[in-house]
Amino acid sequence: MKTRIEVPEDSLFGPDNLPYGVFAPEAQDLRVGVRIGEQVIDLAAALEDSVFAEPNLNAFMAQGPRRWRAVRDRVRELVDTEIPTAAVHLLRDVRTTLPVRIGDYVDFYASIDHATNLGRLFRPDSEPLLPNWRHLPVGYHGRAGTVVVSGTDIVRPHGQRRTSSGTPDFGPSQRLDIEAELGFLVGVGSELGTPIDIEEFDEHVFGVALVNDWSARDIQAWEYQPLGPFLGKSFATSLSAWVTPLAALEAARIPLPAQTPEPLPYLRRSKPWGLDIDLAVRWNGQTVAHPPYSRMYWSPAQMLAHLTANGAATRPGDLYASGTISGPEPDQRGSFIELSWGGAEPVAVNGLHRTFLEDGDEVVITASAPGPNRRRIGLGEVRGRIWRAHEAHR
């Protein structure tokens, strides 16, 4: 038997989108699927291809751009006609999981508005941007083993925090924060010692997914000098269950903001582009920010070129994220340390004055972008709820 999938015209997950994920129907094994509206197509069943019977996207992503295009074209053909009924599942009836096996995770700091805001908060008597910021995409290596799929509960982390006496104590973070980001997933890896040229971005990166890089600001503030983020960042990073392929974002490509001074040659692309993606951050059901990705200073191609400039290898499933996405207006800030201005200007959330995350709080980040024919496409949400930390060993 075959069925025809009907999708409302205003759906953000129509046939121009078709994000990939990994799911399991009840009592069945994980496999790769494509979301269409509020349904999921089982690609192993629909295309009779064993690469989609895997518990992650890695093997498919490693096949490269020609294969990505062929599969996308075939799925669109099926959506326009009929699909085997057994290959179609309601989204509400399946379990989604982390869509890729992540080998490495790098987080950048690519928003000039976010970097400027934090510079003003932390160094009020100095220039907000450090001297290197306009010359290279600043980043750090995160912990791939603590990247979790959207919907996973987040346990409040413990760590050292500076006290008013200048010495540390140890306990649960009291300044727990979010960072609304966009993640990029490597499909085709690169050899050790061989940088990825900035013009080769499209040959290596498969797609994008929303990221929430949870951050313990009090732990981070004590530990980050002189070597940078560690325990304040490594306890959890949430990733959407759905990966939007680059092919779905062609209409969202826009020119980069002006870069001054001009980047060094390895960071220059013949046609530099950014992405017109609008995010929304909901805190306990209330929308508190609308970060615009279009304001990002460094492009995803520049981030990848810099990540591999020293010859670092990449592998299918490697994740790198943009860093916090923020804009110049107060309601465009993608972290709560910015929204509350370091806690000095509380945010009204459901009638309460709030600064940082409390136990039981839930944060949901969504996004949409221009698609073909003046319709918008959606990126899969990233959701997480904070729970009290377990008693830690001291």
Query: What is the tens place of the pLDDT at every residue in 323-370?
Result: 999 999 999 999 999 999 999 999 999 999 999 999 999 999 999 999
Q: Which CATH superfamily is domain 105-387 in?
A: Fumarylacetoacetase-like, C-terminal domain (3.90.850.10)
Does residue 37 come out as left (phi exceeding 0), alpha (psi in the -120 to 50 range) or beta?
left
Active site residues: 114
Closest CA to 323 of 139, 105, 118: 139
Q: Domain ranges in the chain? A: 2-97, 105-387
Closest CA to 41 of 1, 81, 5, 16: 5
**pLDDT tens profile 251-271:** 999 999 999 999 999 999 999
pLDDT, residue 394, reads 41
Looking up tokens 């929304």 gives 280
Peptide bond into 370 cis (omega under 30): no
The whole-angstrom separation of Cα 332 and Cα 338 is: 9
Looking up tokens 């751009």 gives 65
User: Any bridge partners for residue 387, and if so which?
Assistant: 155
Domain 2-97: which CATH number of 3.20.20.140, 2.115.10.20, 2.60.40.3880, 2.30.30.230: 2.30.30.230
Yes or no: say if 108 and 137 are a contact pair by the CB < 8 Å rule. Answer: yes
**pLDDT tens profile 176-208:** 999 999 999 999 999 999 999 999 999 999 999
